[in-house]
Amino acid sequence: MQPVTLYHADALDLLNPERGAINPESVACIHFDGSYGMGYQSHRREEFLDKMNGDNDVPAMMSLHMYAFDLSEHILVPGGSLFMWTSLTRKSAIEVLSPILVEFQWRDEKHSPKWATLCNKIIWDKIVFGTGWNWRRAYEEVFHFFKGKELRWCGGNGMSNVIREPRPVIPTDGHSAMKPLAVVSHLLKAVTKPGDLVVDPVMGSGSAIEAAWRMGCRVIGGDNDMKWVAYTADRLKRLGAQVDIRTMESHDK
């Protein structure tokens, strides 16, 4: 099995090929499950707000998603995939995805992509709906982009864009946004094969890291909270994986 490299790092630093953790045009798939129901503190927040003319109502997570989308161009192989999770039942998520779909995805009057093509929207049907008092969420969505105009597809004759899988029972020490292994495995097997490089820069408790490792992929993961780096490392080591933990200082330090 392939070794796993985990970084205690800001997601945007990890995705930036100039920082040296990931080579340009080397990644087959990026699994990006950044915060879309809560704030995310990145050292690029002020830089982003300046770019948006000082609009202090722009959420920090918008900065995270937009910069991550932009950086993905440089590290994906031609035809490589970016899976970006969201939940459009939340107003904040619409704020996050709209600039990507409009500002980045469609640039000229002919509506041709800048660098990526929106392939599809995949639904995770959780079967049992969540907490709440009116329309209670029973699903989440992930947008599938790929680099260029020809998708690097490994899913045979095709795969369903609806994944029906119960929400996981989260351990007391687990991440609140944990994705089921079966869900991320469904995504990854569509666009990767053994030996490919898979990157998850906001890995949380490491579902995508485990899924990619089990498939025989090379894996780079990261999180800005050392708790989840240690959690994921322990998760993989218990499965027999060789794990290398590294720390990357923020670019502005």
Name 8's bridge partners. Answer: 223, 247
Query: Is residue 20 domain-resident?
Result: yes
Q: Supply the DSSP string of 103-156, one letter for each residue.
A: IITB-STT--BSSEEEEEEEEEE-SS--S-SSS---EEEEEEEEESSS----ST
**The CATH number of the domain where 205 resides is what?**
3.40.50.150
In a domain, 253, yes or no: no
252 lies in a domain? no
pTM across the whole model: 0.84
Which stretch of DSSP H or E encloses residue 220?
Answer: strand 218-223
Tens digits of residue pLDDT in 171-225: 776 676 779 999 999 999 999 999 999 999 999 889 999 999 999 999 999 999 9
- From the list 223, 244, 227, 71, the residue with the least C-alpha distance to 145 is 71
Share of the chain above pLDDT 70, in %: 74
pLDDT > 90 fraction of the chain, expressed in percent and rounded: 54
As to burial, measured by CB atoms within 10 angstroms (0-12 exposed, 13-18 middle, 19+ buried), residue 120 is middle
Greatest Cα-to-Cα distance within the chain, rounded to the nearest angstrom: 53
Range of the domain at 56: 4-247
Helix, strand, or coil (residue 26):
coil
Residue 128 domain flag: yes
CA distance 139 to 124: 5
